[in-house]
Amino acid sequence: MVIQSWERGNAESVKQSMDKEIYRSPDGFIYSFSGYGGVMNCSDCDDFNQVNEYDREDGLVVFFCNNCENKKHL
C-alpha cells in the first residue's frame, strides 16, 4: 500500500512538471515558462532586475524582466 501511494504521488508530480505554460512570441520562437529566475540581467534589455526563466524551443535558456515579458507577450 505504501509503495502504491508513493508511485501515484510520484507520477502526479512528474505530470505537473510536464504541464508547462507554452507561449509563441511575436519574434517567432516558442517559449515555455520555467519559473522565477531571481535577480540578474535580462537576456533582452540587459537591465539588472527580477527576471523569470524561460526555455526556448531551440534549447536556449533565457531570462526576461517584466517589461520584456510584456513586449514579447509572454
Q: For the residues 5-11, what does the mean pLDDT come to?
A: 42
Per-residue cell: 45: 534589455
CB 62 within 8 A of CB 12: no
Q: Which amino acid is at 59?
A: G
Per-residue cell: 31: 517559449
Q: For the residues 19-47, what does the mean pLDDT come to?
A: 88
Q: Band of the pLDDT at 19, cuts 50, 70, 90?
A: low
Q: Which of 21-25, 47-51, 56-60 has the lowest mean pLDDT?
A: 21-25
Length of the chain equals: 74
Over 90: is that where the pLDDT of 63 sits? yes
Q: Which amino acid is at 56?
A: R
User: Among 47, 31, 55, which residue's Cα sits nearest to residue 66?
Assistant: 47
**Total-model pTM:** 0.68
CB 36 within 8 A of CB 52: yes
